[in-house]
Structure 1
Amino acid sequence: MGGTMSGPSRCWLFLILGCMTIATFAQNPIEEKTTFEAAFQGRCGHGSPCEQLCYELHDGMYECDCKDGYILHKNGYSCAELNATSPSTSELGELANDLESDELSSDNEEEDDVAEDVLYMRGASFTIHLEPGSENFTINFTSNEEISNEIPERGQLRPTSQGPNLEQKLPSTTESILSTEPSCSLECGPGGNCYTEELRSDEEEENILGGNDFSTSRRKQESLTQRCQCPLGRGGDRCQHEIEVRSPRFTGLGWLAFPALRAAYKHVQLELEFRPEAWDGVLLLAGERDDLQGDFMALMLHHGFVELRFDCGSGVGIVRSSEPVKLNEWNTLSIYRHRWDAWIQLNREKRVQGRSKGLFSRITFREPLFVGGPGNTTGLERLPVRNGFRGCIRHLEANEHRYRFPLAPKGDAANGFDVEECTADRCSKVPCSHGGKCLTTGGDTAVCLCPLGYTGDLCETRVDLQVPSFNGSSYLRYPGLAETSLSWLELTVTLKPTARNGVILYNGHHSDATGDFIALYLSGGHVEFTFDLGTGPATLRSESPVKLGEWVEVRVSRTGRLASLEVEDEPAQEVLTPGAFTQLSLPLNLYLGGAPSSEIYSPKMKTKSSFVGCIQTVILNRREVGILAEALGGVNVGNCGHACEARPCGVAECRPMRERFTCRCRPGTTHSCPATSEYILSITSPTKPKISLGHPHDKSVPSFTGTESYLHYNDAETMKRIISYRVDINMRFRASSSSGLLLWSSRQSDPKEDQKSKNDFLSLGLDQGYLTLAYNLGSGEATLRYNLTRLDDDLWHRIRAVRNEQWSSLIVDSGPGISVSSPGQLRQLNTDTGLYIGGAPDIIRTTGGRFKKGIVGCISDLVLDSDFSVALSQPESATNTNSCIP
């Protein structure tokens, strides 16, 4: 007894211990995987009992396998030839029923990386790790212990089939079908099902009727409707029509059933081409049991993203696409799974891939392959989506077998219900050129959506775009604002509408239309701007409707929670968003003139129709956007009929200015451009007043000369946001002087006192071209200098200065922030001289010699504490200021 065991005896002991270990770990009574998928301690080639193939796992474990044409015995190491008549084959009868009846594919490839797998243990959590270079990919596994908690007791389990079950059953999505009176009386034709559908639940009816039995019964009957569920190949209200389904369209209630996947327990490769009409729905479902409690593989749309979920017995793995599907357009999808590895590729974008951990690597498929819905499968609480797919599928290929959708023998389908012929597939008869995409419009018609630069019924005609026009099905797509407009946003759009409703510009945060967004649109002829920082929307509306067919300039400004809207010469409208959030994040694409789908828009907007008219200028954060040059893509964009289309400037750039234009030399032009005055053209009527090419002075934007030139404020509303413990200054300016005062507030001092060391003050200014923030709370001066960029270039810049007690920070033009803390213990600013902007009286004495002159330039915006806009056009007093020339 005390001697050492021989090699074979030790292996047999490891086999027994391995099986006992697995049986102990797999507590789920439904899982029977342990009867034929066993692991052993030790290494391959060192006395292992594997009869044919051996694969090493990690932690000193390995598993056995068999060659092509053989089947693994439930003992985990013996192999028997398929279709053999020897007695050893009959001993494997039970095991043969647990595996596919088809031949197993050979697996002679290298499996070096299998050594990374771990033994599946009760209560464990598994994670798929990203391969190098993978992006936006997560796979979470739930252990069988957690899953088993949702499974009824063994005595409560309903029976499940052990082989393909293609009997006619109602889809699980029609859970509201009643079996009570009144009985369904519709004649639904051969193979059709008549069922009664309840429009309201019993609880809703009882709440409405107060529990009155008679009224409840009467109202229940009124809330019932009868419908025919037609088998594959039949259609109409009574299934009276024979239809041929070559490219199926699913309604969300229908499905197709094909025989169980063959030769797929280790390896599955799928190719799918589909056209979704909704963001959610089950595309494919295949598994071991019809209650979804064994192995399974599910492909679905979840919030617009493609998700592959599969369970080999070690928990559910999730692979999710990094981009959403294109709604109402054809999408291509490739899926690959081999043992532990899986990846998906949507629309030929970058693959999303990963590798699962766990002992089990095989998936057993006994149930039918359901396409377009979950079929008769129950237990759908394991999936985040339970309803069927809405849309069309025109190509499905699994392991090099291309499925034909009609019923056998004409096709491969064994069963199906509520499946129509996809009328969208008539686009195959519309050959759109130059990358155009076909779109069905109802009835038997289809049109081409032409990319930028092409027009015509088939996108066959090239067009030289100058000033874009939008026809109600058009849009242009750009990179989103992302994090460039967190705290402030400035937008100017020059447009000529020809319809009273339509989305001019939209940028959102989530593909399901939730979260932050900005939207500029027409509603009933009025210009509206709606934005949401995450705590609720706020909307601005122009006083008067715009005139259709005339050019109009719209200006939007937002700082923190405060936004303003100006339309032509109307007074500015202002609004504050609710809540406390002040930042705006917009990672999705920005759309101009419309969008690919109205489901992109937030439901908080008043219109979702596309803009009809022309847009000639878009200026974002003081940078003019190249409307056509910078677009990532667009659809059905034409020319507006502007004078620039005749290319009157030759090699120079023709810049539209409402009805007129001006010429501007392009960079690198080697010869002189035509004089601007010689190339001004007006296409307006002679009686219509001309529009001046020169920019009028904006009276609301003051300019400063640098010497005794300043604005002064001393009202309570302004000063309460400067003094005390915290201040948040958001300012926009341009300066041509390298040094000068931007903003100053201090405490009057006794001439005998040392003001520089004892008196409170706060200042913002330029020092040799760099922004400087300085302050003293009474216990010492702090200075913060932003050395990352010069600001004396006569260009517009946006700055933000924040002081919170002793700490302060500076941000310039959305760049990185810098911070500093003041010395001492005092935390409150106490000033009484008011607020000076652009300069100060007797500036050397007022600032204690810190500044010798004011700024030479303009200040257009000043917002305090993210919600208070200082009225620069209406100061308490103004000294030597002028209107800024743009």
Structure 2
Amino acid sequence: GTQSSWMSFPLLGVKHRTELASLAHTSHLCFLYLGDFFSLSLTSGFMQLRYNLGDRTVQLQSANGVDAGGGSWHTVRAGRQGTRGYLILDGVEERLDPPPGMAILDVASEMFVGGVPTSDNLPADAVEGEPIGFTGCIRELVVNGHQLDLSETGALDGANVGDCDGTACGFHVCRNGGHCTAVSSEAAVCTCPPLWTGMRCERDTSLRSAGFLGNSFLKYRDPKYPSRTLTYTKIAFNFTSSSSDGLVLWMGKVEYEDEDYLAIGLHDGHLKMAVTLGESLSIPLVHRGARLCCEKWHHLEVVQNRTAVEAFIDGKLVVFEDIDPSEQYVALDYGGIFYFGGFELYRNTSEPGSGSGSCTEEAHYIWRRIVKTSQSKPPALKSVAHYVKRLKI
């Protein structure tokens, strides 16, 4: 904006909290007013917060100055709680707790940003010195938890306000972390991050079903791992497969052969699992009932309760085994790591630890021993669905 620029917005409640980012081009100005009165201004290069609740004017000033040359963006947070006020510029906070007095902000006008249409009715102590309109940029203005639309359609009224970015890639053109590329002065293209799509990356495409082609994988880190009870694990998901052999899930870090893990896969179309709780390679647990391949969806639930392992297919108990009745080890310390459909990298190794020493080589070697196959790598499943939403540990 320029020194004659301003925008007005409706009031957003009597409690007041303001957050904004600013880029200033003058050293003495005022750029936020709220009726009679709560004002946030820039004076002689420092931020000032002033408010009057009916009995006196309270003033706070930032400890640090602002780049009045317009070379840096600054973040400002200001507000009041009763009579107490706070002002935070780029993370540096100033607070003031004045003597008891009136605590309600009684305002009747709209809120002004960047300046006011006329200073005739402006309280004399709303700013220091002569009121001067703001020259610079303001973006991401949030008042009482509501982000204001700083545009012609978002404001009640205004004058002499333009696009501060100067290109079609103004602030927040691309949502949710998307990258904006200006193709002309009026057109832009957004490159969206994973799980977002749309012209402005505004549509969520959260994964509901993942397809695997034999050389693909998903790696998942459990954010709640530090608080998990490792003696009890429950994991459930839906899956279908076009192959009779494949690794469905590997739960564990696989840095060494004796690490804890839970492995689930198919061998000759049958469910095959293995669980290691701090000992050497466990004996595979196999269900030789109905085949689980051939494009049919199944629901699988696996429960590890200390040394007892259960598996349910489509709600029916098909595996129940106590893998260590002496309970020498009872916790599945999986390190918060899950692999679905495969592993990060594959190198054709016949013995663990050879080659580059990749931890995924170790996992492939262990899996080949579990399924007792000479395949160079376990083929992945075609599709796994709802595995994260149904994960219960």
TM-score, normalised with respect to structure 2:
0.43
TM-score, normalised with respect to structure 1:
0.20
The structure with more radius of gyration: 1
The structure showing larger relative contact order (alpha-carbon pairs under 8 Å, at least 6 residues apart) is 2
